[in-house]
């Protein structure tokens, strides 16, 4: 869709949250080169996940 997004990623474990990973700046959304494979999701998981700006997305592993 051509929009630019900035995102932050941090690990959280028993010791608490880590530092956010450094990024090179905003990314531009584009269709994937290959179909991504879901990791950690099963047939009962939602097919689409929507995260609004400012909200956290937590994926337990």
For range 38-45, the mean pLDDT: 58
What pLDDT score was predicted for residue 31? 75
User: How far, in Å, CA of 49 to CA of 44, rounded?
Assistant: 13
Q: Given pLDDT bands bounded at 50, 70 and 90, which one contains residue 45?
A: low
Asked if residue 2 has pLDDT above 80, the reply is no
In this predicted structure, what is the pLDDT of residue 41? Answer: 56
Give the separation between CA 35 and CA 44, rounded to whole angstroms.
20
Model pTM score: 0.39
18 pLDDT more than 70: yes
- pLDDT for 7 equals 81
Q: Which of 19, 16, 11 is nearest to 60 (CA)?
A: 11
């Amino acid at each position: 869709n051509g929009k630019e997004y900035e995102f932050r990623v941090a690990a959280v474990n028993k010791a608490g949250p880590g530092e956010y990973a450094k990024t090179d700046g905003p990314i531009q959304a584009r269709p994937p080169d290959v179909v991504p494979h879901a990791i950690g999701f099963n047939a009962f998981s939602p097919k689409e996940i929507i995260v609004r700006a400012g909200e956290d997305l937590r994926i337990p592993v």
